[in-house]
Structure 1
Amino acid sequence: MQITMSPYYGKPDFSDIAAGSGRQIDTVSVADLLRNAFVYPPHSIYEDVKLVTFGFSPQHDMRSEPLFKFKWRNAGEVPEVAAHPQDWIAVYHQKLVDAIRHSCASMQSPWLLQSGGKDSTTLAIALRDARPDVTCITYLGGREENEIESASAVADKLGLRHEVLICDPGRAYDRYLNLVASMPLLTADFALLSYADLGTEIKLHGGDGIIDGLGSDSYFGTPTDRQHWLLAQLARGLRMPLDITALPGLERNFQLCFLLGTLQMHPIERVFPGSRFSDAEVDELFGAPMAERSHARLALFREEIGSATTSWEWRDMSMSIAGSAGAFAKGLYTSHALGLEAAYPFCDPDLREWVHHEVPRRQKVDPETGVNKMLIRRHIASHFGELPYVQRKGSFRFDVSGLAAQRFDQVRDFAVRLDDLLPGATRWLDRNRRRLDNKYHASKFYLLAIVLPWLLARRAEAGLAAAHARH
């Protein structure tokens, strides 16, 4: 089976992935999830299901001739000068309004995931004209940032309804467990639990659709800052002792653990977000050399990524792999399980092609400062002036240490029950239990917490033990 799965290509159809189908789990894909938090496309968690994510062609056979080509070459850099000068803010606003109307046409009660950042704020402005019946919802996922005041002020000024959901890791996990049997495929994106939490909340309040602000980074361009450049340089693919982060002075120091994790990664895989299991840890989890088989899947992308002309194009290409298989997948799989529509206005063909081919460089990236999405920033400033979370906003947060504190025994029980596939999971959990207040280790716990119950929900139908014996 081959599924076209990208909002850039339209709405995916998961109807043929039926429960009880007896599909075999792809154990290399399980290793992908533990190493990178997503399955390398065009593969999926099932051996016989391949995915056409953005960068691949729906006309190609993903089993025999997958070819990855990044669509938006030199994004953020071209055109240097506009061929047809326009009122950029006004045209952008209207195209975004049209994109929202097209993507949300079937929704009776849409809800916007309003983080308080650039993409969700510019969407909120356009929603006032396109769908003033929208409800905005802001999720407070961790202690590092609190966007609620800013997001609430934006919605209030626009006259839009606004709700808030405070992260309770245990509640979010329970809601995820309620969905695993209905999720067609699997990703372990670090926002998956928050999406399950938000989606369930939206459903309980009568919403029938989720509006998500993903999709603009690839064609607006994302310049590489010094931190990301340095991390790529530090990623060396080194093989280190299995438990090196347990050394005195290291086990509770997130920064040092993160540095050691980076040294063990490939530069492209360091671009992917979050702390994940090292190759040595993955081999221990399986009790077999599985990490190299997962790592080999990166070869499909190396030629195209290697042709990048700038560091930021290299990063855009690398991030696009995780974007399709992780960031978009979490929303597509969760909304399907909940019976909700999912809309991604920034993936609209007319909007994205206009930005890439017509919007001049200085409206996308300031060449002096490297600040990106200038047109989006100006659109927001024309309504609100400067907002703190538009000027500088950090990464998405979820309380992974809180999840470990609340659900350790439950996840350990899942590991015991899946001992034939991942015989090292229980050992890893027992060895690291006292370290899970460090989010470096807690992020790995999160991956097990996502992967184990989903696999258990399929084990009877998928013949998991037989699949493992074959490999």
Structure 2
Amino acid sequence: MQITMSPYYGKPDFSGLAPGAAGPGQVDPVSVADLLRNAFVYPPHSILQGVKLVTFGFCPQHDMHTAPEFRFKFRNAGEVPETASQDQDWVGVYHRLLCEAVTNSCAEARAPWLLQSGGKDSTTLAIAIADARPDATCVTYLGGREENELESAAFVARKLGLRHEALVCDPGRAYDRYLAAVHRMPLLTADFALLSYMDLATEIAAQGGDGVIDGLGADSYFGTPVSRQQRLLARLARQMRLPDRVAELPLIDRSFELCFALGTLQMNPIERVFPGSRFTDSEVDSLFGRDMASLSRARLALFTAEIDSATSAWEWRDMSMSIAGSAGAFAKGLYAAHALSLHAAYPFCDRALRDWVHHQVPRDQKVDPETRVNKMLIRKHIATRFGDLPYVRNKGSFRFDLRGLAAQRFDQVRSYAQQAADLLPGATPWLDRNRRRLDNKYHASKFYLLAVVLPWVVCRSRDGASTAAAP
């Protein structure tokens, strides 16, 4: 089975994966290792051994089982073109195209809701939605202690005349909502916003909404300059092999910064680009009780030739990040929306909008050549309606209370680990050994990965699907 799965390509068809449908059902252990190492399955693979995915960068006409070829679609994003072929009202054209993108992507939704983080992408979308779909509702998720974008997001919605709702993260409730829908999840990703998304999507459905408007998709063609911290992390990623319990040593185990640095040393530079703290190769092999990490890491080879051809540091990062974006960030919304029978809308993936930005909008409208601030056109669009918004200056996000999840649902996840012992015999020992360390976000991030992966695998096994043997 091959599924075209990217909002850039259109709506995916998961009908062949419906519960009870005949089809390839074996869970792929290498894909489970992908999830534990990187929080997503390397495309074109999926969590199921017989199902391949055509994500953005692959060609739908190619056979993903035998001849997948990765080509990044937005070469030199943020740099091309250097100058415009003609002068025009860039903000005006952008607004028109974005309104059309909202209309087209939400055509099937009767009552869409915008995931409004308060950042640039959701704010510019809210402006277009006020014109194109004023019946839409904005919803902001108050997730962690690091940020509180609620006041700014509510102000934006109120000024635009849009209804606004808020949902405060309760990690136990979010997890319960995930478990309630896990048997309807067609495939699996462990994106670190998956539980936030499931919490929000369930709330939207409960309040009569039938669609989710997501602001993903613009980074790849607007271009994202590489920060000093990102350059440092890339240099620190040395793919070293350290003992699997090095982050559990006294003093180290209490420090997020030390654990994060040690984890980074053990990563490939490309895999360090992917978000979050994850299990190291040594830890993954211990969880499986056999060598599995190397099989997962080998899947990166499909992308290296294209990534190595990057002409700048930020193109290198954009290419690398696009892998996680397709198989993680987009996948969480597509899988969750399918499980809850909601329409998923991604206006920034609209062909007319993205091609116009990439091929016609001049470089200085994308990235300021002096300050290297990105998405200048989006910032100018927002400035037509608002002043200096705090989460336009600094990126907004839907954070999730990882430590709270570990505190509230440890025993439940441990029970799933016991049930999945045939696949991951080391999961229960890891949980027991690290229970007292889960107030450190580094270890809590790994707990989150197990909390997401284990129930899906157990549920799939109960439905009659086996786990394939490792190659």
TM over 0.5: yes
Is this contact kept in 1: 2:119–2:396, CA < 8 A?
no
The equivalences for 1:159-178 within 5 A come to: 159-178=161-180
2-structure distance, mates of 1:445, 1:246: 14
1:367 lines up with 2:369 in the alignment:
yes
Q: CA deviation at 1:397?
A: 1.7
2-structure distance, mates of 1:180, 1:158: 36
Residue matched to 2:322: 320
Residue matched to 2:260: 258
Residue matched to 1:188: 190
The aligned amino acid for 1:397 is R
Q: Secondary structure at the match of 1:163?
A: strand
The aligned amino acid for 1:258 is F
Is this contact kept in 1: 2:25–2:466, CA < 8 A?
no
1-structure distance, mates of 2:465, 2:110: 41
Q: CA deviation at 1:460?
A: 3.4
1-structure distance, mates of 2:397, 2:34: 22
Q: Secondary structure at the match of 1:121?
A: helix
Q: Select the residue among 59, 78, 82 that pairs with 2:84.
A: 82
Q: Select the residue among 112, 134, 137 that pairs with 1:135.
A: 137
2-structure distance, mates of 1:393, 1:83: 31
Residue matched to 1:10: 10
Q: CA deviation at 1:396?
A: 4.1
Residue matched to 1:293: 295
Count of residue pairs the alignment pairs up = 469
Q: Secondary structure at the match of 1:464?
A: coil
2-structure distance, mates of 1:79, 1:171: 47
2-structure distance, mates of 1:310, 1:112: 34
- What is the RMSD computed on CA atoms of the aligned residues? 0.9
The equivalences for 1:147-166 within 5 A come to: 147-166=149-168
2-structure distance, mates of 1:349, 1:414: 42
2-structure distance, mates of 1:259, 1:147: 29
Query: What are the superposed Cα offsets for residues 235-286 of structure 1, whole Å, 9 maximum, x if unpaired?
Result: 0000011111122221111111101000000000000000000000000000
The equivalences for 1:441-456 within 5 A come to: 441-456=443-458
Q: Select the residue among 66, 69, 75 that pairs with 2:68.
A: 66
Residue matched to 1:95: 97
The aligned amino acid for 1:193 is L
The aligned amino acid for 1:128 is A
The aligned amino acid for 1:115 is S
Query: Alignment identity in percent?
Result: 73
Residue matched to 2:203: 201
Residue matched to 2:462: 460
Is this contact kept in 2: 1:24–1:462, CA < 8 A?
no
1:269 lines up with 2:266 in the alignment:
no
1-structure distance, mates of 2:157, 2:227: 31
Q: CA deviation at 1:416?
A: 0.6
Q: CA deviation at 1:464?
A: 2.5
Query: What are the superposed Cα offsets for residues 408-460 of structure 1, whole Å, 9 maximum, x if unpaired?
Result: 00000100111111000001001100000000000000000000000010113
Q: Secondary structure at the match of 1:194?
A: helix
Q: TM-score, normalised by structure 1?
A: 0.98
Is this contact kept in 1: 2:117–2:397, CA < 8 A?
no
Q: CA deviation at 1:341?
A: 0.2
Is this contact kept in 1: 2:223–2:374, CA < 8 A?
yes
Query: What are the superposed Cα offsets for residues 292-317 of structure 1, whole Å, 9 maximum, x if unpaired?
Result: 00000000000000000000000000
Q: Secondary structure at the match of 1:185?
A: coil
Q: CA deviation at 1:136?
A: 0.2
Query: What are the superposed Cα offsets for residues 132-170 of structure 1, whole Å, 9 maximum, x if unpaired?
Result: 001000001101000000000000000000000000000
Is this contact kept in 1: 2:237–2:267, CA < 8 A?
yes
Is this contact kept in 2: 1:37–1:187, CA < 8 A?
yes
Q: Secondary structure at the match of 2:385?
A: helix
Q: TM-score, normalised by structure 2?
A: 0.98
